[in-house]
Amino acid sequence: MRTTTRRAAATLAAIALLAAACGGGGLDAEIPTADDAQDTDDTDTSDDGDDGDDGDEADGGTIAGDLVGAGATFVNPVFVDWILDGYQATVNPDANINYQSIGSGGGIEQFLLEQVDFGASERYLRDDTLEEARETRGCDAIQFPIVFGSVTIAFHDEFYDGLILDGTTIGDIFERRITNYNDPAIQALNPDRELRDEDIIPVHRSDGSGTTSVFTTYLDLDDEVEGWTLGNGTEVQWPSGTIGGQGNEGVAAAVQQNPGGLGYLNQAYVLEQGFPQAQVINADGNPVFATLEATTVGAEVAEIPDNFQFDILNIGGDGFPITGTAWVFVWECGYDDTTAALLKDFWSWAVTEGGPQAEALGYAPLGPSLQERVLDAIDRINSAE
Amino acid sequence: MSQTSSEAPGALRVTGKARFGDAFFRIIAYSAGLSVLVVLGLMIGTTTRDALPVFEYQGLWSFFTSDEWRAGFSRTEFTGEYGAFSFIYGTLVTSLLAVVIAVPFAIAISLYINRIAPKRLAKPLAYTVELLAAVPSVVFGLWGLLYFGPTYVRPVMELLNSTLAPIPLVGILFEGPIFTTSYFTAGVVLAIMILPIITAITREVTAQVAEDQVQAAYGMGATDWEVMRKVILRGAFPGIVGGTMLGLGRALGETIAVAMLVGGSQRWGLSLFFGGDSMAGHIANTFQDAAPETVLALIAIGVGLFVITVIVNVAARALVWRIGRVAGDAAL
């Protein structure tokens, strides 16, 4: 069993390198930078004012050094924006931070194999993984949430914009128990709408993805969803009659090209592209559009335990119910001083100053009380020994 | 040969320096040849070693025949279900479809270039077809996904669906619902991708049919069409089969374009318009985020694909050899 892991880990590492070399990050890296040059300029000015506050880490000076991170593609746009247009552009030009968006699975692997300085994932590390990590490094792995993002339901046809769905109907659609838009269950949620007799073509991610993980975790655990049988994960066994697309782009293309198409997409992507989308009923029975505000509300009402092992579920009020979190992983020991200082400085900056940039890209930043707790966690970097 | 050497005595005289050069060249040639075997051996060895636990866990038979693929997320043990039939089926269907579409085109193009087209046009046309082979497959994938599929393939699928679906037995291949990304879309784009290789070989072998036979046929009053059909195509048949098999091999292994066009659903269906999946496509789609146990299962798919490719190649060799014997002409 042990050899299985090692071999797979080696393979994964090779693949990760390949993926990085193939420019998985390359294209992603360009887009947000170009799109949001305007927004970040605004942010930058405000950053300069607060710059002195961050100085206590490094006595006002900059920290020259390299950081390498790997993991979730879900957060790649915001990480790249933070690094290139935020932190390195305004706060610490001597830093050289490199984030490889190789996927959550790869991020966890590379982090546990100590091949990167930090990892990122849309899944938090479970207790058994943390235990394994402790054995590897001789100290704890620290994980903290960094941003929140929603998963929205997008339609092929403008006609369905604002259609109200709840967890159970979404689950039934993706498990093919509901195959037509005029299904009584959908009509019951939309009593005032004329629905057409049209086949639904559900579109899911064909690649393993954090978006799928967030989406299926909602469908799997939420008390309001009945009859979901596919479980949850970055990849589940979708039934026959659904279709897959690679990446958000692939799902978007499939939704746009198949009449009757309905797919789930990362909110950041939908905000950029402007898809017709569903309102989803939350725990309080309110139908909600996946706006940035609705995601932030969801993130704030969620109860977050001290170990940061949580899924955002049962969101009520004005919160959008299908919301996920991205975590960052770092170690409690074993970094050299420069790396540790740089890690602390960068992530503290991202938590306290990175909010506007995250929002511009469609992610909800941490609320004020959560910021404090995350900063405490960041302070634990290299504190052991 | 003997005449040539007597005309230039001493031209092949071996000096000490040349003797050293010979040995040197031999070593280079040997090691180059051997390195291919070593690399291939390493690849088969390591992938099979990694795939073995998956075959043991899932069962070899079940791996190839079950269509239940459920990725597990464990880092230390196997928890998922790994039946690869859906992917195997998709790979075979899209590749066969591609060959069925591409071969008639390739033959027609070769005949046109070799026998019908004016000389001025023949060369540029031949180059243009070969240029298709230079287009990266990801470009084919993108183009198929965003433009060719929805604009051209989908109407064809709708037409076939409305005309052929009611026919018993065959109709099942053309049943709805129609997915824009489907076996059919992937097969059509694959056909375009393998067209250059099949055309190149077909053109070569049809050009090599003995001119005296062709002229003899014309002399007996055969029409252009009769000459092509009964003399040229018959003579070139083994070569055409060989070219087809090369194309099929390319189609079986094609990854990214198929991954983008086949549907990516991890399922299979009899209809050609079903959004399915393929072996190489599934590996490309899911490896990035796969947990260690699933990575091994993906490697196992790779091994399966290798096995299928070998079977196809061996079958092709056997077929060409047999046809060659029957036709009395070993073209390849």
Can you tell me the ipTM of this complex?
Answer: 0.73
Decide if A8 and B292 are in contact by the 8 Å CB cutoff: yes
Q: Which pLDDT band holds residue A21 (cuts at 50, 70, 90)?
A: very low
More confident residue, A281 or A33: A281
Q: For strand B69-70 and strand A95-100, is the pairing parallel, antiparallel, or unpaired?
A: unpaired
How large a percentage of chain A has pLDDT more than 70? 83
- Give domain limits for chain B: 16-70, 84-327
Identify all chain B residues contacting A103, using CB atoms and an 8 Å cutoff: 288-289
More confident residue, A226 or A279: A279
User: Would the CB atoms of A237 and B181 count as touching at under 8 Å?
Assistant: no
Under CATH, which number does the domain B84-327 receive? 1.10.3720.10
pLDDT at B144: 93
What pLDDT is attached to residue A15? Answer: 45
Q: In chain A, how long is the greatest CA-to-CA distance?
A: 67
Q: What is the pLDDT of residues A33-56, one digit of tens each?
A: 333 334 434 434 344 434 434 434
B195 with B132: CB under 8 angstroms?
Answer: yes
- pLDDT on residue A59: 45
Which residues, in sequence order, are bridge partners of residue A265? A152
Q: Does B277 touch chain A (CB under 8 A)?
A: yes
Task: Determine the angle formed by the axes of helices B183-207 and B233-253, rounding to 10 degrees.
Answer: 140
pLDDT above 60 for A104 = yes
pLDDT tens column, A25-36: 333 333 333 333
> Which of A11, A129, A253 is closest, CB to CB, to B146?
A253
CA distance B112 to B90: 33
Q: Does any CB of chain A come closer than 8 Å to the CB of residue B299?
A: yes
Q: State residue A263's pLDDT score.
A: 95
All residues at 6 or more sequence positions from A161 whose CB lies less than 8 Å from its CB, including other chains? A155, A276, A277
* DSSP string for B188-248: HHHHHHHHHHHHHHHHHHHHTS-HHHHHHHHHTT--HHHIIIIIIHHHHHHHHHHHHHHHH
- Mean pLDDT computed over A338-345: 91
Could you say which residues from 129 to 148 on chain A have a Cβ atom under 8 Å away from some Cβ of chain B?
Answer: 129, 132
What does the pLDDT look like over A142-174, one tens digit per residue? 999 999 988 999 999 999 999 999 999 999 999
**Contact indicator for B84, B279 with CB cutoff of 8 Å:** yes
Using CA coordinates, name the residue in chain A closest to B77: A1
**Pairwise pLDDT comparison (B5 vs A252), residue with the higher score:** A252
What is the model's pLDDT at position A58? Answer: 42
pLDDT greater at residue A203 or residue B7: A203
**Ranges of residues in chain B whose predicted pLDDT is under 50:** 1-6, 330-332
Q: What count of CB pairs under 8 Å joins A to B?
A: 139
Which among A7, A237, A246 is the nearest to B266, CB-wise? A237
User: In chain A, which among 249-308 make CB contacts under 8 A with chain B?
Assistant: 250, 253-254, 257-258
Structure tokens at B220: 């007996």
